[in-house]
Amino acid sequence: MKKATQRLLNKTGLTLIVAAFSIILILPFLWMISTSFKEADEIFRAVPKWLPRNFSFKNYVGVWMRPYFPNYLINSIITSLFTMGIALITAALCGYGISRFNFKGKTAFSAVLIIVQMFPSMLLLIPLYLIMQRLGLINTYTSMIIAYTTFAMPFCTWMVKGYFDTIPVSIEEAARIEGCSHLGILMRIILPLSAPGIVTVAMFAFILSWQQYLYALTFARTEPMKTITVGIALMQGQHGSVNWGEIMAGAIIACLPGLGFFVYLERYLVQGFTMGAIKD
């Protein structure tokens, strides 16, 4: 009886701690939502309130009507989707090769993938800029996609490799006996069985490119080519003042594609966990 009571107390205490940390983490986001529906005079009240007196969509209309704001959103969607797609393809092929094949320099190559992740993005900014400039890719989607993929691919490869390692080799051997090629095994067996890992990699690559600021600011030189993170940052201090209501509304709009993408892929993540190698 005492052990059951102790377990219940421990579980309750752990739940309360997790709930407290979750509330602390979500409070800024809730305040951002509340501020986006407030008018300017209410935002700067001496005694702020959580709920606005009058819910207003004025900030959302204002930020959407700003010059090039829709372009910012479209640019982020394009670069993030292409980065995700390229990272998925390269990570799947590279991760499968590391997981299933033995080749000279495999250990060194695997170590380099980890070491590359340790380099700060600021360190590679100037070399990448010079390369893009010589190739004539400045102020194009291609420059941003290449830069984002450069940082997403190493970690994505390791994530995919970890999932591939959990799949029994005997399944591949059975498929090979039936005449299936390595590429066929990867596409028809390995990838479907690694659905949770593939979805996780897709989310990671998408979010990594979506929140990128430094390279987007450097490679996108004109207003129509800037991404949503840079666009929101440029809203601060324009015309001699800061419209916090519109900035918060813009931040909410910037969160929606990533949130929708996560909700859409979540069902595939759950399906991946329930998939098996053998069906009755």
Q: What is the pLDDT of residues 174-216, one digit of tens each?
A: 888 878 887 888 888 888 888 888 888 888 899 989 988 989 9
pLDDT of residue 191: 83
Terminal CA-CA length for the chain: 43
Q: What is the mean pLDDT of residues 108-131?
A: 83
Asked whether residue 112 is domain-assigned, the answer is yes
Final residue of a structural domain among 33, 56, 79: 56
Residues 150 and 19 in one domain: no
pLDDT of residue 81: 93
Residues 99 and 233 in one domain: yes
- Rounded CA separation 180/177 (Å): 7
Q: Are the C-beta atoms of 60 and 36 separated by less than 8 Å?
A: yes
Between 241 and 34, the more confident residue is 34
pLDDT of residue 106: 80
Q: What is the mean pLDDT of residues 143-148?
A: 92
Q: pLDDT at residue 224 above 70?
A: yes
Distances in whole angstroms, Cα of residue 261 to Cα of each of 8, 84, 89, 200: 37, 12, 19, 12
Asked whether residue 123 is domain-assigned, the answer is yes
Residues 15 and 32 in one domain: yes
Residues 50 and 81 in one domain: no
Residues 252 and 136 in one domain: yes
The residue range of the domain holding 12 is 2-56
Asked whether residue 105 is domain-assigned, the answer is yes
Q: Are the C-beta atoms of 83 and 142 separated by less than 8 Å?
A: no
Number of domains in the chain: 2
Q: pLDDT at residue 173 above 90?
A: no
* CATH code for position 215: 1.10.3720.10
Q: pLDDT at residue 115 above 70?
A: yes
Q: pLDDT at residue 240 above 70?
A: no
Share of the chain above pLDDT 70, in %: 93
Distances in whole angstroms, Cα of residue 44 to Cα of each of 37, 113, 148, 238: 13, 49, 38, 18
Task: For residue 50, report the phi and psi dihedrals to the nearest 5 degrees.
Answer: -65, -50
pLDDT of residue 96: 87
Q: pLDDT at residue 162 above 90?
A: no
Residues 29 and 146 in one domain: no
Asked whether residue 280 is domain-assigned, the answer is no
Position 279 confidence tier, pLDDT thresholds 50, 70, 90 = very low
pLDDT of residue 145: 93
In tens, the pLDDT along 242-268 reads: 788 889 999 999 988 888 888 887 776
In tens, the pLDDT along 82-103 reads: 999 999 999 988 888 888 888 8
Position 239 confidence tier, pLDDT thresholds 50, 70, 90 = low
Residues 116 and 174 in one domain: yes
pLDDT of residue 159: 85
Q: How is 118-157 classified by DSSP, letter by letter?
A: HS-GGGGHHHHHHHHHHTT-TTSHHHHHHHHHHHHHHHHH
Q: What is the mean pLDDT of residues 121-144?
A: 90
Q: Which of 28-32, 131-135, 216-220, 273-277 has the lowest mean pLDDT?
A: 273-277
Q: pLDDT at residue 134 above 90?
A: yes
Asked whether residue 133 is domain-assigned, the answer is yes
Final residue of a structural domain among 56, 77, 97: 56
- 180-219 burial, b at 16+ Cβ within 10 Å, e below that, comes to beeeebbeebbbebbbbbbbbbbbbbbbbbbebeebbbbb
Burial class (CB in 10 A: 0-12, 13-18, 19+), 89: exposed
Q: What is the mean pLDDT of residues 236-247?
A: 74
pLDDT of residue 2: 67
Final residue of a structural domain among 16, 37, 56: 56
Residues 47 and 26 in one domain: yes
Residues 88 and 36 in one domain: no
Residues 160 and 238 in one domain: yes
- Rounded CA separation 131/241 (Å): 37
Q: What is the mean pLDDT of residues 108-127?
A: 82
Asked whether residue 279 is domain-assigned, the answer is no
Residues 41 and 72 in one domain: no
Asked whether residue 91 is domain-assigned, the answer is yes
Residues 138 and 190 in one domain: yes
